[in-house]
């Protein structure tokens, strides 16, 4: 049997966090995290307007995310505490950025903000994107008024390319401005993201070098 790990990365360990491909049995922990964070998320995440939802809705969503992950179509992770007893948020390496690119998305439980977790997880995902997925570009987008979120790509060495006017819509169809932050593969080695402590493992637990 080959001992060489093959992408995508199913488990990613950073200094304080475990990012893992979701499973339907994670639904109760995910529901708890979202329900406890609704008021924190609603100003910035359009999907939070539909929360809180029933447990079955979370089960169905996790089945979709897992299916997309296994088929290589999109890569959503849940953020866990180191012992996997608590969901601390969600994130992803999304393929909507286009060919040879990823878009990093993230949200953190309202009770765990201001601890640098978003920067830590985004740095780890940036390493995975460039070193394992071998993309040429990584994007991070956020509401232009969400200054806390915007500090994450800035700290990691992403470049603020543009603010797109009235491109993000909330549940009331009110247009919001969106900041676009970008890093290219030749910019990655010298960035703060490249120094993020991280280990990654494939679908059967083989560690990436």
Query: Could you tell me which of 1, 48, 53 has the C-alpha nearest to residue 27?
Result: 53
Which residues lie below 8 Å from residue 131, measured CB to CB, with a gap of 6+? 208
The confidence score (pLDDT) of residue 170 equals 54
112: helix, strand or coil: helix
CA–CA distance from 118 to each of 28, 107, 114, 125, 136 (Å)? Answer: 22, 7, 9, 10, 22
Q: pLDDT of 1-40, one tens digit each?
A: 568 999 999 999 999 999 999 999 999 999 999 999 999 9
Q: pLDDT of 40-86, one tens digit each?
A: 999 888 889 889 999 999 999 999 999 999 999 999 999 999 899 99
The fold of the 11-201 domain, in CATH, is Aminopeptidase (3.40.630)
């Amino acid at each position: 049997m080959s001992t060489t790990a093959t992408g995508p990365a199913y488990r990613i360990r950073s200094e304080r966090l475990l990012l893992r491909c979701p499973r339907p049995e994670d639904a109760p922990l995910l529901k708890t995290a979202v329900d406890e964070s609704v008021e924190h998320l609603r100003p910035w995440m359009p999907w939070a307007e539909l929360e809180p939802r029933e447990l079955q809705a979370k089960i169905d969503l996790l089945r979709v995310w897992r299916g997309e992950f296994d088929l290589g179509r999109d890569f959503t992770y849940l953020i866990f505490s180191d012992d996997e007893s608590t969901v601390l948020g969600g994130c992803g390496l999304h393929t909507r950025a286009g060919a040879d690119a990823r878009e990093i998305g993230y949200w953190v439980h309202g009770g765990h903000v201001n601890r640098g977790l978003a920067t830590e997880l985004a740095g780890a995902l940036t390493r995975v994107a460039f070193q394992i997925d071998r993309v040429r570009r990584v994007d991070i987008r956020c509401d232009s008024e969400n200054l806390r979120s915007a500090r994450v790509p800035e700290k990691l060495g992403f470049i603020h390319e543009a603010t797109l006017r009235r491109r993000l819509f909330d549940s009331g169809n009110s247009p919001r401005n969106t900041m676009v932050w970008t890093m290219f593969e030749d910019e990655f080695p010298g960035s703060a993201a490249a120094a993020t402590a991280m280990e990654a493992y494939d679908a059967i637990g083989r560690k990436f070098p």
